[in-house]
Every structure is written in C-alpha cells, then in structure tokens.
Structure 1
Amino acid sequence: MLSVRAVLAERYRVLVEIGAGLGLRQGEAFGLAVEDIGFDEEVVHIRRQVKMVRTKLCFALPKGRKVRDVPLPSSVAKSLRQHMALFAPVPVTMPWDDPSPPQTSVEAKHRRPRTYNLLVTGRERKAINRNYFNSYVWKPALAEAGVIAPLEESAPDGSRVWEPSREHGYHALRHFYASEQLEAGESVVSLAQWLGHSDPGFTLRKYAHFLPRAGARGSAAIDAVFA
C-alpha cells in the first residue's frame, strides 16, 4: 500500500489515506469535500459520491443512499491538511444523481447542479473519472510498485492491456481499513456503520476471517482472574 502511494502523482497520494484510513469507496473518496471534514470533532461526514451515468459524471448519495460519519484518525487529518496546503480544494459543479437533461420540473429540481469544494481533483481541476483514474493512475502505480505486471501487448489485436487485478483495485484499501479495525478490536456493529453497511451481519460475513482468534481475549480475561 505505501509502495503504491509513493509512486502515485502527488495530487493523488492522499487518496490512499482516504481509502485505507477512512474506509471510503472510490466514488466517495472522489466526492469528499473540505466541508465534510470535521477536524475539531475528529469526524468525516460521508455525504456524497461522484457517480458515472452513461459516461457522464454527477454527484449522488453514497451507495445505498445512506450518509454516515466516520472517525477521523489524527494521522489521516494530518495528511488531509498537508494535501490541502499543496492542492487547494476546488469548487466543482455537477448535476445531482443524473446528468441527463431533465424532462419535468420535478426532475429539474432534483437534478439541479450543486457545487462542492472537492479535496482531490484531476489535473484539469475537475471531478475524477474513475475509468481514467483506474487505467492511467492506479494501475500504472501498481505496476511501478511491482504489484502487477507492466503493461504488455497481450490482446488478440495487439493492443496493450493490463492484467486483471480486481483484488488490487482501489477497493482493496477499504478492505485494509476493515481488517485493521477488526484486528484492533472494534465491534462489527461500529464497523458496519463506518462502512455504510445496513446489516452488520453482512459485515461479519464479509470480514469474519479478519477477526482475532475466537476466544483469545475471553480466555485472557479469565486467566487474569484465576491466575
């Protein structure tokens, strides 16, 4: 993770802390704005994502249409401040939920453009397109860090393609966040809230293999009483 971060272009490096330190999905990380960061309260408000609809971008509620709050570790807060010192947040205006031209007054009201001061934008100071980021930023960084093979001519038509690397996508940072929280002893219920899962049972099923050895802490507590 840190080796990949080291070879990313500087403007994108903080996305590693956002994914691995806050557990955000990729679209949520792209949609994170400075007004969502509660530095004093040590909390981040996850209120939106950057969503792609028919190749066009728009803002939308997070997956499941659920907003949530996530604890802000001091190390991540420091990285966010350092990033903003180098790259000032950029006001970005896009439609809400659907970029298609509205057909009714209700749709026009719902889809009206909204502006947020995004923490991370592309070189053109626009919201990040996930297809561009994954193909031209993330995968080259994975290759340079030695995580996946370099780009090679491997398609039947001779075009250059990346090897499949789903397990190394940006979502892997979210898995890292979940595993670290469980290893540290945080409850599945709390983790489900931070990840935006509506059912803690889903979180448990997905990440049960990251739980510390069953019974270890309970046994230690009993030993402390009877030792």
Structure 2
Amino acid sequence: MAGIAIAKMAKGSIGMPRLLPQVSDLASFWKLFTTVPILVTAYICHFNVHPIENELKEPGQMRSIVQVSLVLCSIVYVATGLFGFLLFGEATMDDVLANFDADLGFGTAINDVVRLSYASHLMLVFPIVFYSLRLNLDGLLFPRAAVPIAYDDGRFAFITYGFMLLVFMGANLVPSIWVAFQFTGATASVAVGFVFPALIALRDVHGVATRKDRALAWAMILLAMFSSSAAIYSNICDMFIDSSSTR
C-alpha cells in the first residue's frame, strides 16, 4: 500500500485528500466517537501477556517485548491509515484491503499478493487470539474439570470446533468488518481494555494502589462508559439511517 501510494504521488496522480472530519451537526459529532472502539480493539491483546510470559526462558524480558510490540503496531497502524487514505481518499472502505479489488494501475498481480498476505496474517494471528478464548471458555463451562483441557481430547475438540464454527458463521453473516469492530469494540474491548483493569486497581487486594492509581482507575471507567455509550448510540443511529435510506 505504501509503495503504490508513493509511486502514484511521484507520478502526480494522487490529489490531497481531506485531512479533517466534517462536523456539520450533532450527529456527525457523535459519529467521531465510533473510531474509539476500533482503536481500543487494536490494542487489547494484552490478555496473551501471561501465557506468552510463561513460555519465555527469561520472563523478565516481557516488559521490553510489550514496549517494542506497541511501538511496531503503532507504526503499522499509522502507516496503513495514512497511505491507505492517501491512496483511496473518500473511496476508502471499512476494510481498506477491499479497495484492492479494483485495478490500481499496476496490474492484478499485486491484488493477489495482498489477498495472500491477508490470508497468511489471519492464519498466524487467529491461533494466538483463539488460545486465550478457548482457555477462558473452558474455565467457564467446565470449572470442576479434573484435568486441564490440554489433556482432555474430547473437551478440547468440542470447544475448538464449536467456536470455530461460530466464528466462521459470524464472519460470513456480518455485512461489514466495521460493524463487528464497532460493537465488539464498544462493549467487550472497552471492558477488557479499560474497565476490568481499573476495577482490579480499585479492589486493590494487596494494598499497593495509591490515591493517584485510584483516581486514574475512576477516570478510565468514566472515559470507557462515555466513549462506549457514544459509540453504541452513533452505531444504532447509523443502522436506522441506512435501513431507512435502503427502503
């Protein structure tokens, strides 16, 4: 995406896109908050920190690993958004990779490369996210299990294949990835990223939280509630507007 955008900029075939959002009424203002769940969803994989830390030979490296990961992910996200919007402008779709279905002037081979890279990305990321989902779901469904799920083939297969079927059906039934990210980001992602860590700090079982920690925890909860409510409200309004316009 960056290579194509830079090549087109060198040729002068890319105009300057609109850099700031258009806020014309109250509805467009609330719509700005629909981006918050997307950003939150992009940074909530920290539930994998403990399983990954247990696999490290030197667990003390986890802090530097997290810091480097956050920096690299931020660079990738910013570069994708910047070059994607420079390349496609107002025609940028919810999933920017869907824009590569059109001919960009460099042949159709690059579109196939993008699809293959996207498929490879999903294949590599899915097991990491699914690992935590399966482990926590097993604890909820079978809290009194005598053996861990790794040693129970029947339980392992039941949870794995059952949820893979649900994920596959959801991926085919949800009309847009933006809808999925918005609603899950405004509910589950906000809870995992802001509310639950703040509640742990407020509970303070070990008595280590300071007054500043408690104030920050309350600020996180209030911010999460506000952004989540605004995003859900805007999403529902957009859905009703789209359905009425279709009719």
Please tell me the TM-score bracket, short chain as reference. Answer: under 0.3
TM-score normalized by the length of structure 1:
0.24
Whichever of the two has the greater Rg, that structure is 2
TM-score normalized by the length of structure 2:
0.23
